[in-house]
Structure formats: C-alpha cells, structure tokens
C-alpha cells in the first residue's frame, strides 16, 4: 500500500493537502436519482426472497400439487440466487459492470413475467431459477455502483438508503404476498415486478453515462462453478427437506450433508489455488473483511429467523389472522427507516465497530423482550419489540457493510461485495432452517415436560363432563391448552437463544481493526492504497 503523505509534508510551510478532485464533485439530482433506482433494484430482488413464502398454499392449490411440493418455488429462487451472487465479481470483471447490470435487470423482469404466466409447477420452478440467476448479481452490483457514482464524502448516506432495502424488503415481502394472494391472485406477486423493473431499466439507461468498467478476457472456472453449484444445491436441499425427513435420522439428509461438506471443502481448496477463481476467496485474508462477514452472518441469519417465527407464532398459537400478524410485522421497518439516514453521520465521529456492537446488543434486547411473551400478551406488547428493533438493525447493517468493503483493496470491492451478499443469502436460509427446527424441538420438549407435571387432569375432565362436555372433547381442550402453552414456552426459549447468538455476533466485530476516525468507512474504501 502506498504511503500517504501527511498534511505537514504537503509543501512549503506545511500547507494542508487540498481535497481530492473526486471528493469535490457536487451531489447532483442525477446522482440522487441513480442512487434511488439502484436501491430500488436491490429492494425488488430482496423482496422476492420472501414474497412467495405466504403464497405457497395458493400456488399449490392453483397448480393442483401438495403444499410441500409448492415450497420448491421458494427453494429454487434461493438456490439460484445463492449460486449467482458470488459470481457477480467474476461477471463484472469479464463483461463490465454496466452490461451485467442491464442484462440482469431485463432478465429479472422477463422471468418475473414468465413466473406469473406459468401453468405448471415444473415450469414455475424453472422460471424462478431464471429469476434468481438474474436477480443475484443485482445485490452486489447495486452496492458497487453506489460506491462508483457518489463522491466519497456522501457514500455513507447513499449506502444507508441501500441498507434500508435489505432491512425493509424481507419484512414487507410476506405482508405484500399475503395481501395480493388473498385479494387478487398469486400470479400478481410476480407480475408487480414487471412495471417496477421496466421503470428502473429506463431510468438507469437515461442517467448512467460514461464508459463501462474495465474488462478482461478471464477464463471461465468451470470446475469452481460446478463445485459451487454442487455444495450450495446439496446444502439448500438438506435445509429444505430436513424437517420433513427427521434431519439426520434420514439417509437422504445424511447423504446431502456429506455432499455439501465435502463439496465445500474441495471448493475452498480449488478456488484458493485457481489463478482466475469464480469466487475470489482471497479477500478473506483481510482481517476486517473476515470479521465483518462472520458477524453479519450470525446477526443477519438470527434477525431474519424472527421474521419467520413471529408471524407463525401469532397465527398458530395466539389466534391472529394473517392480516393481524402482518400489522405486527409492519412496525419492524419504522425505526429502521428513521435510523438508517442518521447512522452515516454517527460513524463520522464514532468508531464504526462500537455502532455495530450497540446495534446488535439492541436487537438482542428485543429478542429478550420476546422471550417474556405469554398467552396473555396483548397486541401492543407484541408490537413494541418489532417497533424498536429497526433501530438496532440499521445500526449494524450499514457499518458492517462499509467495514467489509473498506477493508479490501479497491480492485477487490466487486468480489467482496458479492461475497457479502452471498453470506446474507446463505445466512437467511441457514438461520431460518436452524431456528425453526429448534423451535419445533423446544415445542416437543416443553410439551412433554408440561404433561409430566400436570395434576388433577381427571378432576378437570370430570368437571367439564358435568357441564355437558363429552370426555373426548374435554381431553381435546386440555391437549390444546397444553399445546398452546408448550409453543409459547418454545418461542420464549428460541428468542432467548437468539439473544445469545446476537451477543456473540456483537463481540465478533471487535476482531476487525479499528476504522479510520473522522472519516466514513466508505471514504476509506475509496482512498485505500
């Protein structure tokens, strides 16, 4: 890394070095529009990760297949996106950022329309694969283009808008998907992408000017790509089928787990020795990037797991309708929207690691509040943790992203951004599968414990029979009461565990070196080396 001259050495009399020409650029309306369109493109892609979750019963009914088969609509998109996200760095280097950006936008819109027009489940799964492949590069590309378009002094603010899309979209997805499926048709959860994507494409074509990024005739790492597809595909299938197959008591799950583990190990060895890897794993040599990636994986996966558990608990145990559960979830984005624009200003003066630490502990506190829920908890006590959680998420998402990108060399930013996006995608799948599986295990264990400590069951049954209730109905009512209490206890235990994981993630960020004081991490990324 080239040494940077101190201001005192800048010339006679120790005159301060004038600011860089790049940082002198004024922020124009054109820049703001580009930033909005790039953030919107990431919002649409992230939204589609969860918008189909609550629509699976509608899709399965429309396709005349079992609900369990309908989950392939979710899995296919997740697998395609997880595979394609880390390829973005290679594609940008091979074809240029602008070309990859526009092809991805058009492809995502086309496959969204085809998903809405699909007439069979295999056809829909195929089009969802195409949608995921095209949408995957947009996540790291939108980050990279924001860093390219805005001058260093305002990149933190631009990134805060991008981070809000990552925070709000997964929450809005189930709400929007359920509303559309209940009131119109599940096909419209895909059709609504088309006009939005068209507007993004037209807007970016009109505003993005200049030459494309430098390209190189890079060879295609077929072996690395095949290994990536193998281990990610096996891993996602293991997570998707695990609960139905009783996890590692199933030969199928054990086989998939072995394929994923061995495939991952061989993939790591191959990519580290490859001259032109499909995924540049060498960026993990930077301590700041590695620490940020680990911390983000733990925190984001745990945080998104709550997005799945809370609405399920409210509907299955507390008797909430899908609309009422959606109202509770909707509060999650309020503080995030308020806090995200303030975070870039805070990290100008405060160590970004401390902001991340505070944010994760704040989300951990929200999990602890949920761990005190019971069957008498009212609507506003469910809402309160959702409402304040957004502030903590905004505090850790943006600084972690900037710490990771500022820790690598400028030419490594595309690869680093794609890997960070990949970790978010994988942590979503792993976190959701793991937490929901633990939730189910806790429910069974708590149910067995409650049954073993119950007293006076016969007396209560007899009393209910005296009031005209049959013995079978009385026993069913008692069993339902026990089940409700067991699931509530399991929810409390799950969120207590989530709080511990978030605290661990908060401590992990201190493994990163101290960021530059008095400057945004985004500016450090631009001026490093």
What's phi and psi for 42, nearest 5 deg? -70, -35
Top-confidence residue, 67 or 388: 388
pLDDT at residue 20 in the model: 47
405-450 pLDDT, tens digit per residue, is 888 887 777 778 778 877 877 777 677 777 777 888 888 888 888 7
Locate the DSSP E strands across 380-429: none
- Residue 8 pLDDT greater than 70, yes or no: no
Is there a single domain that holds both residue 54 and residue 130? yes
Is there a single domain that holds both residue 235 and residue 321? no
21-66 pLDDT, tens digit per residue, is 555 667 778 888 888 888 888 888 888 877 776 676 677 777 776 6
Is there a single domain that holds both residue 334 and residue 426? yes
Answer whether residue 18 is part of any domain: no
- Residue 80 pLDDT greater than 60, yes or no: yes
Is there a single domain that holds both residue 323 and residue 460? yes
Tally of domains within the chain: 3
CA nearest 285: which of 397, 419, 84? Answer: 419
For residue 195, what pLDDT band results from cuts at 50, 70 and 90?
Answer: very high
pLDDT at residue 15 in the model: 41
What whole-number percentage of the chain has pLDDT above 70?
Answer: 84
Distance (Å, rounded) from C-alpha 132 to C-alpha 412?
A: 24
Cβ atoms of 32 and 157 within 8 Å: the answer is no
For residue 1, what pLDDT band results from cuts at 50, 70 and 90?
Answer: very low
Distance (Å, rounded) from C-alpha 473 to C-alpha 465?
A: 9
C-alpha dist (Å) from residue 148 to 18, 158, 458 = 21, 11, 72
Please give the average per-residue pLDDT across 79-102, as a whole number: 78
For residue 467, what pLDDT band results from cuts at 50, 70 and 90?
Answer: low
Answer whether residue 214 is part of any domain: no
Is there a single domain that holds both residue 290 and residue 165? no
Lowest mean pLDDT among 9-18, 286-295, 436-445: 9-18
pLDDT at residue 17 in the model: 42
Top-confidence residue, 255 or 90: 255
342-363 pLDDT, tens digit per residue, is 887 888 788 889 999 999 999 9
Which residue range(s) make up the domain with 462?
Answer: 282-529
Answer whether residue 62 is part of any domain: yes
Please give the average per-residue pLDDT across 134-145, as a whole number: 82
Is there a single domain that holds both residue 412 and residue 468? yes
For residue 523, what pLDDT band results from cuts at 50, 70 and 90?
Answer: very low
Answer whether residue 364 is part of any domain: yes
Query: Domain with 399 in it: what CATH number?
Result: 1.20.1250.20
pLDDT at residue 373 in the model: 92
Is there a single domain that holds both residue 461 and residue 321? yes
pLDDT at residue 67 in the model: 56
- Residue 5 pLDDT greater than 60, yes or no: no
Cβ atoms of 502 and 360 within 8 Å: the answer is yes
Is there a single domain that holds both residue 335 and residue 262? no
- Residue 456 pLDDT greater than 80, yes or no: no
Q: Most confidently modeled of 125-129, 233-237, 301-305?
A: 125-129
Is there a single domain that holds both residue 165 and residue 192? yes
Q: What is the pTM of this model?
A: 0.73
Distance (Å, rounded) from C-alpha 234 to C-alpha 37?
A: 35
Distance (Å, rounded) from C-alpha 352 to C-alpha 121?
A: 46
Lowest mean pLDDT among 187-196, 304-313, 378-387: 304-313
Top-confidence residue, 165 or 367: 367
CA nearest 438: which of 319, 344, 301, 277? Answer: 301
Cβ neighbours, 10 Å, residue 493? 18
pLDDT at residue 405 in the model: 80
- Residue 193 pLDDT greater than 70, yes or no: yes
What whole-number percentage of the chain has pLDDT above 90?
Answer: 15
Cβ atoms of 139 and 82 within 8 Å: the answer is no
Is there a single domain that holds both residue 271 and residue 312? no
Q: Most confidently modeled of 180-184, 230-234, 378-382?
A: 378-382
Distance (Å, rounded) from C-alpha 61 to C-alpha 70?
A: 9
- Residue 522 pLDDT greater than 50, yes or no: no
Answer whether residue 10 is part of any domain: no
Lowest mean pLDDT among 233-242, 412-421, 453-462: 453-462
Answer whether residue 6 is part of any domain: no
Answer whether residue 493 is part of any domain: yes
Answer whether residue 17 is part of any domain: no
* 440 CB-contact burial (10 Å; exposed 0-12 / middle 13-18 / buried 19+): middle
Lowest mean pLDDT among 37-41, 71-75, 171-175, 407-411: 71-75
Is there a single domain that holds both residue 299 and residue 442? yes
Distance (Å, rounded) from C-alpha 488 to C-alpha 469?
A: 26
Q: Most confidently modeled of 208-212, 265-269, 436-440?
A: 265-269
pLDDT at residue 363 in the model: 92
Is there a single domain that holds both residue 190 and residue 241? no
The overall average pLDDT reported for the chain is 78
């Amino acid at each position: 890394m080239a040494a940077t001259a101190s201001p005192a050495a800048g010339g006679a009399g120790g005159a301060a070095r004038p600011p860089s020409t790049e940082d002198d650029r004024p922020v124009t309306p054109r820049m703001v529009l580009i930033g909005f369109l790039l953030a919107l493109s990431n919002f649409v892609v992230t939204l589609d990760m969860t918008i189909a979750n609550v629509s699976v019963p509608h899709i399965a009914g429309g396709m005349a297949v079992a609900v369990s088969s309908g989950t392939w609509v979710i899995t296919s998109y997740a697998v395609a996106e997880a595979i394609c996200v880390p390829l973005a760095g290679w594609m940008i280097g091979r074809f240029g950022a602008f070309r990859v950006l526009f092809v991805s936008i058009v492809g995502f819109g086309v496959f969204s329309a085809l998903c809405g027009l699909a007439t069979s489940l295999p056809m829909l799964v195929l089009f969802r694969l195409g949608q995921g492949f095209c949408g995957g590069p947009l996540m790291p590309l939108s980050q990279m283009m924001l860093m390219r378009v805005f001058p260093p002094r305002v990149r933190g603010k631009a990134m805060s808008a991008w981070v809000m899309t990552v925070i709000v979209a997964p929450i809005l997805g189930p709400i929007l998907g359920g509303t559309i499926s209940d009131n119109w048709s599940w096909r419209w959860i895909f059709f609504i992408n088309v006009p939005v994507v068209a507007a993004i494409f037209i807007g970016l074509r009109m505003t993005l000017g200049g030459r494309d990024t430098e390209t190189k005739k890079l060879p295609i790492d077929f072996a690395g790509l095949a290994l990536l597809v193998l281990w990610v595909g096996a891993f996602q299938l293991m997570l998707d089928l695990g609960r139905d197959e009783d996890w590692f008591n199933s030969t199928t799950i054990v086989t998939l787990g072995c394929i994923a583990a061995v495939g991952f190990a061989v993939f790591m060895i191959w990519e580290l020795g490859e001259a032109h890897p499909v995924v540049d794993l060498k960026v993990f040599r930077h301590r700041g990037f590695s620490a940020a990636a680990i911390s983000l994986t733990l925190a984001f996966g745990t945080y998104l797991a709550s997005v799945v558990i809370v609405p399920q608990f409210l509907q299955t145990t507390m008797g909430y309708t899908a609309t009422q559960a959606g109202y509770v979830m909707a509060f999650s984005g309020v503080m995030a929207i308020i806090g995200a624009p303030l975070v870039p200003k805070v990290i100008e003066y405060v160590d970004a690691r401390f902001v991340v630490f505070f944010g994760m502990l704040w989300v951990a506190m929200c999990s602890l509040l949920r761990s005190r829920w019971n069957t008498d908890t009212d609507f506003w006590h469910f809402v309160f943790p959702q409402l304040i959680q957004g502030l903590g998420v905004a505090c850790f998402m943006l600084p972690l992203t900037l710490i990771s990108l500022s820790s690598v060399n400028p030419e490594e930013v595309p690869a680093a951004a794609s890997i960070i996006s990949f970790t978010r995608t994988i942590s979503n799948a792993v976190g959701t599968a793991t937490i929901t599986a633990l939730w189910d295990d806790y429910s069974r264990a708590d149910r067995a414990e409650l049954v073993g400590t119950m007293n006076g069951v016969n007396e209560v049954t007899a009393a209910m029979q005296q009031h005209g209730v049959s013995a079978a109905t009385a026993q069913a009512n008692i069993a339902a009461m026990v089940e409700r209490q067991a699931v509530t206890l399991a929810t409390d235990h799950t969120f207590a565990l989530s709080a511990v994981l978030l605290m661990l993630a908060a401590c992990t960020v201190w493994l990163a070196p101290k960021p530059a004081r008095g400057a945004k991490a985004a500016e450090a990324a631009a001026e490093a080396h």
